[in-house]
Amino acid sequence: MRDVAIIGIGIIKWGELWEKSLRDISVEAALNCFDDAGTDRVDAITIGCMSSGLFNRQEHLSSLIADYLGKLYTPSTRVESACASGGLAVRTAFLEVASGVSDYALALGVEKMTDVSGGGATSALSSASDYDYEAFHGITFPGLYALMAKAHMDRFGTTREQLAQVSIKNHYNGSLNPNAQFPFKITLVQVLSSTMIADPLRLFDCSPITDGAAAVLLTTVEEARKLNKHPLVIISGVGSSTDTIALSQREDILKLGAVENATRRALKMAGKTIRDVDFAEVHDCFTIAEILIMEAIGLVKQGEAGPAVLNGLTALNGKFPINPSGGLKSKGHPVGATGVGQIYEAVSQLRGESGKRQIPNAKIALTQNMGGSGGSSVVHILEAR
């Protein structure tokens, strides 16, 4: 297996981009990535997009974007695993380079969620749950995560204030990120008095609807050393796992089995433990998700994540910062782009280019992307060399 490095990263400002189309934002992020890399050589493209079909009535996105990017005839593959599609695109680009089939592989994540066709964004998103047994009967993702939040509060005594602290922390970090959709701080009073969405989750517990794209360029470590444009960042571990997509089918709705397994695989491949990792970007689609993920990646024991957040463990200046980018809550959640956006942030931190939100001496990062209510997860370990 060939060693793989990330030599370019590109993003755009995420938000409600009414004046831009699906193809516009894809190309813009990819061109920013080429600029950063100092090369536009691409032997293969992988695109993470959850549902350009339901959102935009546009499948066949892999070819459409290759064409609009000026890369006609380049092999291009769209991958999908609901909101974990972006992470999976990076993993598939890794396979291209690691196998030797491609020397340069571009992973692009994109989702255009405003100005959509059909039943609107919430309806399209519900296709990430088990349609026959969940969505058809009316439950949406805020409802599914509210069930997990209620259970966590009941079993472990997790409090509303602890949940709120996830959002407050991430908005603080996001206020330092010029590409975030909502780059401002929020207070405990604001979270607790925001509109109820699905009890106990309020508006400020939920990530937003976002248009966005991000891209990263992969090649071999050998090639990266030759180019030598940026401090070297390698992908030392990749892990992917599935779980039931129906929450009702899990043995324990408070265990994210896909996150546990994907993390174990990625750490094993990298020859590391969670204690070796300096910081993480994780999938806080709802505040309770970040709590459950902290437990699933082994950072704290089950039931201990709530107090840990309140005590500052995961703050930007804490022992294990989580979501320095602002996370899904503040940076935004264009579902197919999110996993690639996480890699963007991790590389930026490992290069020491994150400005006001820079984590000092960050050498090893973990990124964790998730689909649905935990039905899939993709984890990467990145290292500065």
**Which residues of this chain interact with a second copy, rule CB under 8 A?**
1, 21, 44, 50-51, 53-54, 56-64, 66-67, 71-82, 88, 91-92, 94-96, 98-101, 118, 124, 126-132, 135, 238-245, 249, 257-258, 261-262, 265, 371-372, 375-376
Tracing tokens 């992020």 back to the chain, one arrives at 29
Going from the C-alpha of 44 to that of each of 23, 49, 66, 184, 220, the distances in angstroms are 18, 16, 9, 38, 14
Give yes or no: 49 in active site.
no
Is the Cβ–Cβ distance between 370 and 259 less than 8 Å? yes
Residue closer to a second copy by CB (options 42, 313) is 42
Q: Which residue in the list 33, 49, 83, 206 is annotated as catalytic?
A: 83
Tokens, residue 341: 């956006």
Closer of 60 and 356 to a second copy (Cβ) = 60
- Smallest distance from a second copy to CB 31, Å: 18
Contacts 24+ apart (CB under 8 A), 259-262: 259/292, 259/293, 259/296, 259/297, 259/368, 259/370, 259/374, 259/377, 259/379, 260/296, 260/297, 260/298, 261/377, 262/368, 262/377, 262/378, 262/379
The distance of closest approach from Cβ of residue 180 to a second copy in the complex, given in angstroms and rounded to an integer, is: 26
Active-site annotation holder among 152, 230, 283, 333: 333
Shortest Cβ 138–a second copy spacing (Å): 13
Q: How far is the CB of 86 from a second copy (least distance, A)?
A: 13
**CA–CA separation, 343 vs 349, rounded Å?**
10
Nearest distance from C-beta of residue 177 to a second copy, angstroms = 28
Minimum distance from CB of 340 to a second copy (Å)?
A: 15
Dist. CA 160–CA 182, nearest whole Å: 22
Q: What CA–CA distances, in Å, run from 203 to 49, 121, 142? A: 25, 16, 10
Q: How far is the CB of 269 from a second copy (least distance, A)?
A: 9
- Nearer Cβ to a second copy (99/311): 99
Asked about 83 being catalytic, the answer comes back as yes
CB closer to a second copy, 110 vs 180: 110
Q: Which residues contact 349 (CB under 8 A, 6 or more apart)?
A: 279, 324, 358, 359, 362, 365
Rounding to the nearest 10 degrees, give the CA dihedral for residues 275, 244, 331, 207. -130
HSE-CB for 47 with a 13 A CA cutoff: 28
CB of 60 to a second copy, least distance (A): 4
- Which residues are CB-contacts of 186 (< 8 A; sequence separation ≥ 6)? 167, 168, 171, 204
Q: Which two tokens stand for residue 266?
A: 């990625």
Q: Indicate the residue among 135 and 186 with the shorter CB distance to a second copy.
A: 135
Task: Pick between residue 132 and residue 189 the one whose CB is nearest to a second copy.
Answer: 132
Handedness of CA 302, 308, 309, 310 (dihedral sign): positive
Residue 116 neighbours by CB distance under 10 Å: 21
How many Å apart are CA 272 and CA 266, to the nearest integer? 9
250 CB contacts (<8 Å, ≥6 apart)? 243, 244, 257
Q: Which is nearer to a second copy, 148 or 180 (CB)?
A: 148
Q: Which is nearer to a second copy, 51 or 170 (CB)?
A: 51
* Both structure tokens of 300: 């704290």
**Would you say the C-alpha torsion 330, 210, 71, 240 has a positive or negative sign?**
positive
- The residues annotated with a catalytic role in the active site are 83, 333
